[in-house]
Amino acid sequence: MAFVMISFMACKEKQSEESSCCEESACCMMHETVKEKTVVVARVAVKEGHEKEFIEIASKLVAATRAEEGCLFYTLYQSTENPSVFIIYEEYKDDEAFDIHANSAHFAAFVEATNDMMAGEPVIEQF
C-alpha cells in the first residue's frame, strides 16, 4: 500500500471581485498529488528482556542505513509506555532507494539477528 502527499494551493481560476472563491468551486483550494519521497514506519515488539540486545543490533542497522545514498532519515524510537515496542521511522528519496535498502546485506543481517527475539510479526506501513 502506498500513499501520496496531498498539497493544497490557491485556486488558479479567476476569482470574482465580490468573493474570494472562484465561482465554479465550493472553495478556493485545489489539490494536487505529489509523491515527494518514500516514508516507511515499521513497528516491532520484542520479547521482554531482549530490549537492550535489540537496540544494540538495531544501532548497526541504523548506522549502515544512514550511509545509503538514498536514505534521507532513519531513526529508531522506543515506546515510553511499553519498552518492548519500537518503531523505525524511515525516509528515502524514492521507492528505488527503499528497495535498495530492503534488499541490502545489512538489512538481511538485522532480520536474521533479531528474528528469534520478536514477539510477533512487524507492522510495516509505507507512505
pTM: 0.73
pLDDT, position 8:
43
pLDDT at residue 32 tops 90:
no
Please check whether residues 22 and 77 belong to one and the same domain.
no
- Note whether 112 and 54 are same-domain residues: yes
- Total structural domains within the chain: 2
Residue 77 and residue 120 in contact, taking contact as beta carbons nearer than 8 Å: no
> Which three three-digit cell numbers place residue 127?
507512505
Please indicate, yes or no, whether residues 43 and 29 belong to a single structural domain of this protein: no
Same domain, 27 and 42: no
Both 47 and 59 in a single domain? Answer: yes
Which domain, by its residues, includes 100? 38-126
Q: Are 47 and 117 in contact (CB under 8 A)?
A: yes
User: Do 60 and 95 fall into the same domain?
Assistant: yes
Shared-domain flag, residues 26 and 73: no
pLDDT band at 11 (very low <50, low <70, confident <90, very high): very low
Q: Which residues pair with 75 in a beta bridge?
A: 89
Same domain, 29 and 45: no
Q: Rounded to an integer, what distance in angstroms lies between the CA atom of residue 33 and that of residue 5?
A: 6
Three-state DSSP at 6 gives strand
Q: What is the pLDDT of residues 98-116, one digit of tens each?
A: 999 999 999 999 999 999 9
